[in-house]
């Protein structure tokens, strides 16, 4: 956070509290210290007060969405393109690359669909 004299927003206080909870869950803070710091964070008026409460904690990782992507997606796309190129160079008859492309492509769709179904099932149960 920058500009320590600026007033802190509710979102900034909530983010600091979440960071503290995460640090407590990782064992970085004792329960008493976590409770004390949470009280300070939730009542902080300025960004400087928030910085003082979370300043000694490791920085949070901001690339989580990127790491959630499938690392094999570029390989899948390259192989699919190669299969289509082979099909085109061999006479463009029956479009046989559809089967390996679909077969491998299902692995990109299914994990998300299964998770969504499980979440929906729990909501309706």
pLDDT digits (tens, 9 = 90+) for 76-106: 899 999 999 999 999 888 999 999 999 888 8
| Per-residue pLDDT reduced to its tens digit, 49-83 | 999 999 898 877 654 554 456 778 889 899 999 99
Position 88 scores a pLDDT of 93
Range of the domain at 90: 67-124
Same domain for 78 and 52, yes or no, is: no
Q: Is 17 part of a structural domain of the chain?
A: yes
Among the candidates 60, 75, 95, a domain finishes at 60
Distance CA 102, CA 123 (A): 31
Q: Which of left, alpha, beta for 92 (phi over 0: left; psi -120 to 50: alpha)? A: left
Q: Is 45 part of a structural domain of the chain?
A: yes
Model confidence at 113, in pLDDT bands (50, 70, 90)? Answer: low
Same domain for 74 and 55, yes or no, is: no
Model confidence at 116, in pLDDT bands (50, 70, 90)? Answer: low
Position 67 scores a pLDDT of 47
Same domain for 38 and 71, yes or no, is: no
Same domain for 117 and 84, yes or no, is: yes
Average pLDDT of the chain, as a whole number: 82
How many domains is the chain built from? 2
Q: Is 83 part of a structural domain of the chain?
A: yes
Q: Which of left, alpha, beta for 59 (phi over 0: left; psi -120 to 50: alpha)? A: beta
Q: Which residues pair with 7 in a beta bridge?
A: 46
Q: Is 118 part of a structural domain of the chain?
A: yes
Same domain for 44 and 86, yes or no, is: no
Same domain for 18 and 41, yes or no, is: yes
Q: Is 23 part of a structural domain of the chain?
A: yes
Q: Is 35 part of a structural domain of the chain?
A: yes
């Amino acid at each position: 956070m920058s500009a320590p004299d600026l007033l802190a927003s509710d979102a900034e206080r909530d983010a600091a509290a979440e960071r503290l909870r995460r640090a407590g869950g990782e064992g970085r803070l004792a329960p008493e210290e976590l409770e004390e710091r949470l009280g300070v964070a939730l009542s902080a008026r300025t960004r400087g007060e928030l910085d003082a409460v979370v300043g000694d904690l490791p920085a949070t990782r901001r690339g989580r969405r990127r790491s959630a992507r499938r690392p094999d997606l570029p390989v899948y796309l390259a192989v699919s393109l190669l299969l289509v190129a082979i099909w085109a160079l061999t006479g463009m008859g029956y479009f046989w690359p559809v089967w390996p492309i679909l077969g491998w492509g299902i692995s990109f769709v299914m994990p998300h669909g299964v998770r969504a179904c499980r979440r929906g099932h729990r909501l309706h149960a």
